[in-house]
Amino acid sequence: MIKVLIAEDQAMIRGALAALLAIEDDIEVVAQVDRGDGVVEAAVKANPDVALLDIEMPGQDGITAAAELRKRLPSCRVLILTVFGRPGYLRRAVDAGISGFLLKDAPPDQLAAAIRRTARGERVVDSQLALAALSEGSSPLTPRERDVLAMSTRGASVEEIARSLRLTNGTVRNHLSIAIQKLNARNRTEAARIAEEKGWL
């Protein structure tokens, strides 16, 4: 019997996934969590073989949760299940020591299959996505450029960003300008969009 933990913020989806897994005779859902920062605690209690984690969750994102989980409970393998096929996500997830990366676009029967393979110690990654991650490469942005760009996504002005990061007006504009060039964008808005799409935010 494979013991599974499910972490997913949308209750309906969480329940539906549990129902999907309940069909399988060799899989048992032993814990359900609705936020990223509750994953480790629940896992320590329930001691699952596989943790099925969403990426975008309140409290803590699934990738960070995965990294912590690997440290605290190395016996538990991690399978990421997410909507977003962003190359940057895959890369970070692999760095965090995950065993598998599955998209919510994939056929439903692949979920049980992926869990079984993960439990056996195999690695499960969508080949399309893996290729994309390799071809995209990792983020060209320096940490500071990333910070500045991230703040501009919500429509913050240069001054607001500068104040918030304790920088000068000019420095912020320089960082933004460089980020815009690196991403082949026409302005900060487009640059932010591109970075977000690739998972570099």
Partner DNA sequence: CTCTGGGCATGACCGATGTCACGCCCGTCG
Partner DNA sequence: CGACGGGCGTGACATCGGTCATGCCCAGAG
Tell me if 119 contacts its own copies by CB under 8 A: no
Among 50, 3, 53, 48, smallest CA distance to 33 is for: 53
27 binds its own copies per the rule CB under 8 A: no
Q: How many residues line the site for DNA (CB under 7 A)?
A: 23
Counting contacts by CB under 8 A, is residue 6 touching its own copies? no
92 counts as binding DNA under rule CB under 7 A: no
Q: 114 CB contacts (<8 Å, ≥6 apart)?
A: 79, 100, 102, 124
| Three-class SS state of 133 | helix
Question: Between residues 26 and 159, which has the closer beta carbon with respect to DNA?
Answer: 159
Chosen from its own copies, DNA, none, partner binding at 145 (C-beta under 5 to 8 Å by type):
DNA
Among residues 171, 193, 196, 201, the one that binds DNA under rule CB under 7 A = 171
Q: How far apart are CA 188 and CA 13, in angstroms?
A: 35
Distance of CA 184 to the CA centre of its chain: 25
Going along 40-180, which residue ranges are E strands?
50-53, 77-82, 100-103, 124-125
Q: Which of 112, 173, 193, 201 binds DNA (CB under 7 A)?
A: 173
Establish if 164 lies at the interface with its own copies (CB under 8 A). no
Beta bridge partners of 31: 5
CA distance 44 to 73: 7
The answer to the question of residue 137 lying near DNA (CB under 7 A) is no
Residue type, 13: I
**Binding-site ranges for DNA (CB under 7 A):** 142-145, 157-159, 166-171, 173-177, 180-181, 187-189
**Binding-site ranges for its own copies (CB under 8 A):** 9-20, 22-23, 81, 83, 102-111, 152, 154-157, 185-193
